[in-house]
Amino acid sequence: MGLQLLLLFMISAAIVAIEVEDLLSSVIAVGAVGLGLSMAFLVLKAPDLAITQLVVEILCLIILIRATINKDLPLIRDGRWLFNTIATVLFIALFLILAYFALKDLPAFGQPIMRVAGEYIAQGLQKTGATNIVAAIILDFRGYDTLGEATILFTAVMGVLAVIRRVGRINEK
Amino acid sequence: MKSKKEAGMTLIVKTITRLTVGLILLYGIYIVLHGHISPGGGFAGGVIIALSFIHLMLAFGRETVLKKLSEAKASILESLGASMFLSVALLGFLGGYFFFNFFLHKGRPFDLFSAGIIPLCNIAISLEVGAGLFAIFAALVFFKGAGEKE
């Protein structure tokens, strides 16, 4: 019951974020979606995800508010409204039909088919010595994937610093 | 209306920041070090450590913090974290295969010094994530575009 209410809250906050005209208000609505997601992680019993989601949401909100606080973008609403609406409705209908056929074969919510995961849960403490089973999986059983994740973050930071610094240096001359 | 432009925010914000920013940094380090016992780990703790430095930068202005931790030093710290993670993984080759844990004990459950290489990996990841996010913030948020004036 709580999960459905949280989902309803997140969907309505997302609609508010798209439809409102002021840029700062829509950034705050995006923050409300992130808060609802963090509480949904708590309801689904995943505290690691809830902590990480909350702090990354705070960081993204600071960056977005700092970027939008002095800007006033003009809103462009040109013609072709009918064509856009019909195309959107058609694509949503097509997606729902295909999703119905795809999702019929998934196992029920809360009863997954776990073979390797059952092995991790049964023997995680004894094989690794860590009581946090999430840390044991992402850093011991599946450490290679975490290495890929760390490489992604490293490449993203290097890319941002490379792009920003060059333009800044030309500006100072 | 300000006659001269002071860096950072008002006096109330600066006083509260002086009181709380050490606690935020300590909390981030706690989450990193206890990553194998309680929820959290390297990624969440690294972001909290970066947030404490960003808090300082928002309250006191960009120049004050960049004198202590410049962008070049943050870049070096981030590369140090990533290469530490990679070297812990490659050391496993000495014992068998990639990421094999042969040199640290498993210990008793719920001890601080337990669980093999997991605390080392957490510290390496937190260095990388924290320094990387701080470098992105310092470069991006105070960035002046090609046509903007101060």
Cβ contacts of A47 on chain B, cutoff 8 Å: 39
pLDDT digits (tens, 9 = 90+) for B59-114: 988 888 888 888 888 889 999 999 999 888 888 766 666 666 666 777 777 777 87
3-state secondary structure of A110: coil
Option in B40, B117, B118 nearest A51 (CB): B40
At B150 the pLDDT is 43
Task: Name the one residue in this structure whose structure tokens are 């001269």.
Answer: B4
Please give the Cα distance from B68 to B91 (Å, whole number). 34
The burial class, CB within 10 Å (0-12 / 13-18 / 19+), for B28 is buried
Residue type, A37: L
- Between B106 and B56, residue with greater pLDDT: B56
**Helix spans in A44-142 (H):** 47-68, 81-103, 116-128, 133-136
| Count of Cβ atoms closer than 10 Å to residue A27 Cβ | 18
CB contact under 8 A, A129 and B116: yes
Cβ A10 vs Cβ A33: under 8 Å = yes
- Between B102 and A170, residue with greater pLDDT: B102
CB contact under 8 A, A59 and B133: yes
Cβ B118 vs Cβ A136: under 8 Å = yes
Highest mean pLDDT among A102-111, A144-153, A161-170: A144-153
pLDDT digits (tens, 9 = 90+) for A8-42: 999 999 999 988 888 888 999 999 999 999 999 99
Q: How far is CA A103 from the centre of its chain?
A: 21
Task: Name the one residue in this structure whose structure tokens are 């450490």.
Answer: A143
The whole-chain average pLDDT of chain A stands at: 86
Task: Assess A68–B contact: CB distance below 8 Å, yes or no.
Answer: no
pTM of the complete model: 0.81
Distances (CA, A) of B79 to A167, B28, B31, B72, B102: 23, 20, 22, 11, 25
In the A/B pair of chains, how many CB contacts fall below 8 A? 133
Residue type, B52: S
Q: Residue A110 pLDDT more than 80?
A: no
Rounded to a whole number of angstroms, the distance from the CA of A51 to the nearest CA of chain B is: 6
Residue type, B48: I
Average pLDDT, integer, range B37-43: 89
Cβ contacts of A168 on chain B, cutoff 8 Å: 139, 143-144
Average pLDDT, integer, range A151-169: 80
Q: What is the DSSP string of B74-96?
A: HHHHHHHHHHHHHHHHHHGGGTS
**DSSP 8-class letter at B81:** H
Q: Residue B1 pLDDT more than 50?
A: no
Q: Which residues contact B95 (CB under 8 A, 6 or more apart)?
A: B101, B102, B103
CB contact under 8 A, B38 and A132: yes
Cβ A50 vs Cβ A38: under 8 Å = yes
Task: Assess A69–B contact: CB distance below 8 Å, yes or no.
Answer: no
CB contact under 8 A, A154 and B121: no
Q: Residue B26 pLDDT more than 90?
A: yes
Burial B64-93 (b: 16+ CB within 10 A, else e): ebeeebebeebbebbbebbebbeebbebbe
| Count of Cβ atoms closer than 10 Å to residue B147 Cβ | 6
Lookup: tokens for A6: 């949280």
